[in-house]
A and B are shown apart, each in its own frame.
Chain A
Amino acid sequence: MRAKTVDRIATAVIVCVAGFIILLLAALLGYLLVRGLGHISFDFLTSAPQALKAGGGIGPQLFNSVFLLVLTMIITVPLGIGAGIYMSEYAKDNKLTAFIRLIVEVLSSFPSIVIGLFGLLVIVNTFGFGYSLLSGALALTIFNLPMMVRLTEQSLRSVPKEQKEAGLALGLSRWKTITSVMIPVALPSIVTGSILAAGRVFGEAAALLFTAGMSSPRLDFSNWNPLSPTSPLNPMRPAETLAVHIWKINSEGLAPDAPEIAAGASAVLVIMVLLFNLGARWLGRVVYRKLTASK
């Protein structure tokens, strides 16, 4: 009888906490959307911001966020998966490996503002990449790589030993066993890790203030030559992202409609993250199904 009472109380507490969290999330999301949705229009999404007048948009910032995301993931995903494979399958169990694991652990909990400053000192100044998309992408890579490595390592380790041995016993090399037997099984976790990393790219401002910069040059969206300074595709140009833009107009925006723009931009950011999440999950499922013929 007593066990039952305890069980009931525990269940009630857990349900309450879960309900509270869901409510909080729903309220937050609702607040952002209600405040921002009204301000979103085609014009708002495509036009450039205005410094002093009302009616500015977020076109370049939106593009910058997406482009920076792509650039960062192009660097982060292969490096992270490669290092994760190394850590789980090739690294010997010795002091050096334990040390690397510790570093990865520490790096993954680094405050992003510190990474931003590191990026400013090393990438922007010492390497001379300047305030640029590339600097931003490299800083975000430092920010995200540890998580990617850890997640890949863990997901490979959790592939059943029987699957790995089945591959090896067929005479596949270690590398082929990893790429064609283990990675497909580990894929859902790896995709989830990449989504988390990507979400952090979208939302990150602190690490970008001093690396990708707080301004965006006048972009010419008809110029797709990546070497030209006004081309949106040029990775060496400064690029203010949506998150940085929100921070900037909230703290020093001079346009009379600055609060509305911040609200609209926040809503767009949230929607982008949601869309990206759903899209990546869907893609992960399709790829997984293709690789495994499971229903």
Chain B
Amino acid sequence: MIIEIDKLQLYYTDFHALKNVNLSIPERSVTAFIGPSGCGKSTLLRTLNRMNDTIPGVRIEGKVDIQGRDIYSSDMEVEFLRKKVGMVFQQPNPFPKSIYDNVAYGPRLHGISKKSELDAIVEKSLRSASLWNEVKDVLKKSAWSLSGGQQQRLCIARALAVEPEILLMDESTSALDPISTTKIEELTRELCQNYTIVMVTHNMHQAARISDRTVFFLNGEVVEASDTQSLFSNPVDQRTEDYISGRFG
């Protein structure tokens, strides 16, 4: 298990947003978080790379271990953690720079300056994000000139360029058209051979299509976590069944 979450509680000032979450996430697999809006999926995802640190008033109890290290212990460097745990957001958010510079950005700021080395990283990352063939001749063009789906794959390439081991995706296809969505879904399947992927999705079909394991949340609690097929075909908890059969949410 690459991620182990133990008795995690999270409060936004006095709102109890995550209640006693216990969860293990296996390596090199796709785990999907599903549940109605406001149930804490993004919140849990953002505790995994400590993005919640930037929000004032957040309080956390319990333990989150990634690769055996407690990420909330005082000797954990948050920059190191975020290099290991990359993130792709809901809205594509490339920097207002060229395609090349977007991908080379992280490596550069982490100290790589040799052109040949950067070139290699850019190509490798863009290939992994299945974007290379579409942009290899226009690397100097602004990233904002790409389509939404291409921008999102560029953001994936940008995240891959700093060599993470875990990739967090928060509804990363919800702003995209069906074709771009399919592309990113296929890409997710490919990437999970080398990376551990944790994704939030509102689309149950998407979870069923591409995830190995699914976690169902309700009001800040994990109701059920199991492999995707059994969660969808015979859920143990009544609330899970109600949700996946569309009775609420």
Interface residues of chain A, those whose CB is within 8 Å of chain B, are 92-93, 160, 162-163, 165-166, 168-173, 176, 180-181, 184-185, 291-295
Contact = CB atoms under 8 A, between A and B. Distances in A.
Contacts of B140: 293
B95 A171 contact: no
Contacts of B106: 170-172
B101 A293 contact: yes
Contact of A163 (B79, B81, B87, B93): B93
B93 A172 contact: no
Contact of A165 (B93, B94, B109, B141): B93
A172 B109 contact: yes
A171 B142 contact: no
Nearest to B97: A293
B144 interface: yes
B155 interface: yes
Nearest to A162: B93
Given A169-B51, A293-B96, 18 more contacts: A160-B93, A162-B91, A163-B93, A165-B89, A166-B94, A168-B51, A169-B49, A169-B82, A170-B159, A171-B82, A176-B109, A181-B95, A292-B97, A293-B140, A293-B141, A293-B143, A294-B142, A294-B144
Contact of B56 (A93, A171, A172, A294): A93
A293 B93 contact: no
Given A162-B93, A163-B93, A293-B142, A173 B98 contact: no
A172 B95 CA distance: 14
A171 B161 CA distance: 12
B12 to A, nearest CB: 15
B115 interface: no
Interface of B: 49, 51, 54, 56, 79-83, 86-87, 89, 91, 93-98, 101, 105-106, 109-110, 140-144, 155, 158-159, 162
Given A171-B162, A293-B140, A166 B93 contact: yes
A152 to B, nearest CB: 19
Contacts of B81: 171
B26 to A, nearest CB: 23
Given A160-B93, A172-B79, A172-B106, A166 B162 contact: no
Contacts of B155: 166
Contacts of A295: 142
B96 A171 contact: no
30 contacts: A162-B91, A165-B51, A165-B89, A166-B93, A166-B94, A166-B155, A166-B158, A168-B82, A169-B82, A169-B87, A169-B89, A170-B83, A170-B86, A170-B105, A170-B106, A170-B109, A170-B158, A170-B159, A171-B81, A171-B83, A172-B79, A172-B109, A173-B79, A291-B97, A292-B95, A292-B96, A293-B97, A293-B98, A293-B101, A294-B96
A171 B98 contact: no
A169 B160 CA distance: 11
Contacts of B144: 294
Contacts of B158: 166, 170
Contacts of A180: 105, 109
B97 to A, nearest CB: 5
A293 B94 CA distance: 12
A175 B93 CA distance: 20
Contacts of B143: 293
A193 to B, nearest CB: 20
